[in-house]
Amino acid sequence: MYSIGEMSKRAHVKIPTIRYYEQMGLIEAPERSAGNQRRYTKSQLERLAFIRHARDLGLAISRIRELIDLSADPDKSCHEADQIATQHLAHVRDKIRQLKNLEKELMRISSKCAGKNIGECYVIQSLSDHTLCESDHA
């Protein structure tokens, strides 16, 4: 059995986060000791590690809940779990594409700034010009 502090250290998750996952129903409420301290099992620690890894991968709580529900039936096809991972991968790739575009734009405007004062600053002018272009389309 593990205390909440031990769970926190072993799974690298903060104590309030463990309590939050309990409230969300992602981790079963632990047994209590005679002194009313939470006492967790190895399977609860494994579940916590599963959740932390899924969160590290950027999965939403709702998707993690789905994966937990799927894991309750080990003989079930893993098609749904594969779909969740594939959809998340597509989302991550889209985000990467957006970040690459953001990087290009920031490199473009930051590399052209040769002004000595704000009145001549290309960064300020680019941001102002972009705002005007967007409002013209509205």
Two tokens, residue 105: 């734009």
Mind listing the pLDDT tens digit of every residue in the chain (138 residues)?
Answer: 999 999 999 999 999 999 999 999 999 988 888 888 889 999 999 999 999 999 999 999 999 999 999 998 989 899 999 999 999 999 999 999 999 999 998 888 887 767 677 777 777 777 776 655 555 555
Q: Which residues contact 118 (CB under 8 A, 6 or more apart)?
A: 124
Two tokens, residue 132: 């005007």
The highest-level CATH class for domain 4-74 is: mainly alpha
Residue 138: its pLDDT value, please?
52
Closest CA to 7 of 42, 37, 55, 59: 42
Sign of CA dihedral 87, 90, 92, 98: negative
Residue 45: its pLDDT value, please?
95
Residue 12: its pLDDT value, please?
95
- Domain boundary assignment for the chain: 4-74, 81-137
Q: Where are the alpha helices (DSSP H) in the chain?
A: 4-11, 15-23, 42-56, 61-71, 79-111, 122-137
